[in-house]
Amino acid sequence: MAGGWPRSCGCREGVVIPEHKIQEVLDRVDIVTLVSRHVELKKSGREFKGRCPFHQEKTPSFYVVPEKRFYFCHGCRASGDAVSFIQRYLGKTFQDAVRDLAQEVGIDLEAAQDPGLKERQQVKEATDFAAEHFRSLLWEDGGRSARAYLASRGVTDEVAQSFGLGWAPAEWSLLADRLQKNGMMEWGLKAGLITKRNSGDGCIDFFRSRLMVPIRAPEGRPIAFGGRLVAAEDGPKYLNSRESRLYNKSETLFGMDQARDEIHKRKTAVLVEGYFDCIGLHQVGVRHAVALCSTNLTAGHLQGLKRAEARDLVLLLDGDSAGLAAVERLAGPLLAAGAPTRVALLPQGDDPDVFARREGTDGVEKLLEGAQPLTAYLFATLLPTGKQASFEEKMAALERLKPVTAQVPPGLTRSTLISALAGHFGWMPAQIETSLQYKAPPTPKPVAGPGGFPMGSQDVPRPVPK
């Protein structure tokens, strides 16, 4: 990805895993078994050989050396140990990769180094329990209304199952009661799955009368939920899990677990805004689509896309005023990160899943192929007539661009952006920069003159006649 993309940080919650514990994990992990879950390997002497998962190739050049607990690729030069493989392939941070491998091989990292590890594990178990609870209810008689809603959006049973969709019925405490029965009440509270009653003892379910969409980590484990209101009128249309030790929405993209392999292959990711937009695209075979989890685009999202080897992004948005507003909202962090981005707009009135269902894979791929570069789209949309526009039109366009350019720090990216704007507007770069930064001075408060009347700037106090 472009050099301006944000760099990752190995720390989490300010905790450092001791070096001897990391080495113990590496010594115990069978790297061949680990890599074989994701790459088809064949024995070649003392090594194992396969096609590299980090770049496209026809002739295998990826090797795993069990004696050295090491992998390397002669093609793209990727190399490292078991931890780095998990980091790179699953998009994990260093510490999370070590923790997951440690749990797998039975090494206790909890001790005094990480007081939050126990809570994190409890939240994981409660979230796993809830995901299975919701999933099973969708396919029972009580899930008929939710299944009917899915059918109305063209989502097949197969796709619903692959995304782990579920159903939270209208009952007040169905999940809470099950968590209590299994000794997981406190865990469910920490995960935000249940809340304490306003009066009296006990808890109630956070999600009720909702089609449940699991939000998963890149390796596929549920970490949170989005709930779409179905067959009820009380409450917001969408309700999302609050953040926890497991779930940080500024680092999580919906569908990454399903899209990761396709993004690896294409080196491109399609970014949409809604869960069902993403699901609809996957259903027609556009499997490199991911969605924001009801939040703004952040450096954490871009870092996750970088780890997935996405070199280009395509924004696929509604072709109306809401779509344009979304482009303007997303443009700032994308330009600031130097992320190569194009914009594909749908026909007026279409959502990505509606368009995908009607036009199929070929229609979506054609639309993506015709996507415009982000800056070209912004300039052409905000000031269609360019240099020929009136002064007032240019100033109005610059006003719309202020929130975008404010996020781009001084440097090569900003100076290049300003130069491009200047060329489109027909002004000098310095004029553009000044206009983007200019703030009108506050209006001075009138000064009271003799007798209490306001005094203008040219008014000079005169002696009051006796």
Q: Does 15 score more than 60 pLDDT?
A: no
Q: Is the dihedral of CA 88, 92, 97, 100 positive or negative?
A: negative
363 Cα distance to chain centroid: 25
Are 253 and 129 spatial neighbours (Cβ–Cβ below 8 Å)? no
For the chain, the average pLDDT equals 87
**Range in 118-127, 130-139, 302-311, 438-447 the model is least confident about:** 438-447
CA atoms within 13 A on the CB side of 289: 27
Phi-psi region of 315 (alpha: psi -120 to 50; beta: other; left: phi over 0): beta
pLDDT of 78-118, one tens digit each? 889 999 999 989 888 888 899 899 988 888 876 545 567 77
Q: How confident is the model at residue 441 (pLDDT cuts 50, 70, 90)?
A: low
Supply the DSSP string of 54-106, one letter for each residue: TS--SS--EEEETTTTEEEETTT--EE-HHHHHHHHH---HHHHHHHHHHHHT
Question: What pLDDT, on a 0 to 100 scale, did the predictor assign at position 325?
Answer: 86
Under DSSP, is residue 41 helix (H, G, I), strand (E, B) or coil?
coil
Q: Does 184 score more than 90 pLDDT?
A: yes
Q: How confident is the model at residue 357 (pLDDT cuts 50, 70, 90)?
A: very high
**Range in 2-11, 118-127, 142-151, 213-222 the model is least confident about:** 2-11
How does strand 454-455 pair with strand 447-448? antiparallel
Q: Does 77 score more than 70 pLDDT?
A: yes
pLDDT of 166-177, one tens digit each? 999 999 999 999
Q: How confident is the model at residue 442 (pLDDT cuts 50, 70, 90)?
A: low
Question: What pLDDT, on a 0 to 100 scale, did the predictor assign at position 318?
Answer: 80
Percent of the chain with pLDDT over 70: 89
H/E element, 178: helix 174-181
Q: How confident is the model at residue 279 (pLDDT cuts 50, 70, 90)?
A: very high
Question: What pLDDT, on a 0 to 100 scale, did the predictor assign at position 76?
Answer: 86
Are 218 and 90 spatial neighbours (Cβ–Cβ below 8 Å)? yes
Question: What pLDDT, on a 0 to 100 scale, did the predictor assign at position 107?
Answer: 85
Count of residues making up the chain: 466
Stretch 272-290: mean pLDDT: 95
Which position has the higher pLDDT, 79 or 458? Answer: 79
Q: Does 73 score more than 70 pLDDT?
A: yes
Q: Does 5 score more than 60 pLDDT?
A: no
Q: Does 207 score more than 50 pLDDT?
A: yes
Question: What pLDDT, on a 0 to 100 scale, did the predictor assign at position 444?
Answer: 54
Q: How confident is the model at residue 20 (pLDDT cuts 50, 70, 90)?
A: confident
Question: What pLDDT, on a 0 to 100 scale, did the predictor assign at position 439?
Answer: 57
Cα–Cα distance list, 212 to 72, 123, 462 (Å): 40, 18, 77
Question: What pLDDT, on a 0 to 100 scale, did the predictor assign at position 1?
Answer: 38
Q: Does 289 score more than 70 pLDDT?
A: yes
Question: What pLDDT, on a 0 to 100 scale, did the predictor assign at position 232?
Answer: 79
pLDDT of 336-352, one tens digit each? 988 999 999 898 888 89
Stretch 191-197: mean pLDDT: 95
